[in-house]
Amino acid sequence: CCAERILDLQPDFHEQKSLAQEVIEEAGHLCIFLPKFHCELNFIGFFWGAVKRYLCEHSDGSFAMLKENMEKALSSVPLATIQKWEHQMWCWLTAYEKGLSGKAA
């Protein structure tokens, strides 16, 4: 559509942050939009994987046990491990920005 194309060419339209980004940044946090279908760039998946592994290893299969162990599971992942995942994510992101892919990334 013409109107869409006209808006797309306006610099102020491109510079406008989304409401989600504005709220996140106003709260003092960094807002990063990751590319779709690149789960290696979203290290929260590694965190949830570790939490689920802990819950699986410390559960009798009941919902009560799950609720009881959730706080422990969330605390079981060391901060240093989370920081390593984040560092690896930034390494991949940098490699992708340089045009690398696959094993080269």
What the block records as the tokens of 32 is 């990063």
The 10 Å Cβ neighbour count of residue 80 is 7
Q: Alpha-carbon torsion 27, 31, 37, 38, what sign?
A: negative
Segment 74-105, tens digit of pLDDT: 999 999 999 999 999 889 888 988 988 877 76
pTM over 0.75: no
Given pLDDT bands bounded at 50, 70 and 90, which one contains residue 66? very high
Res 36: pLDDT? 76
Give the C-alpha separation, 87 to 46, whole Å: 13
Residue length of the chain: 105
Our measurement of the distance from residue 18's CA atom to the centroid of its chain's CA atoms, rounded to an integer in Å, reads 18
Type of residue found at 19: L
Is pLDDT at 8 greater than 70 in this prediction? yes
Percent with pLDDT over 90 in the chain: 50
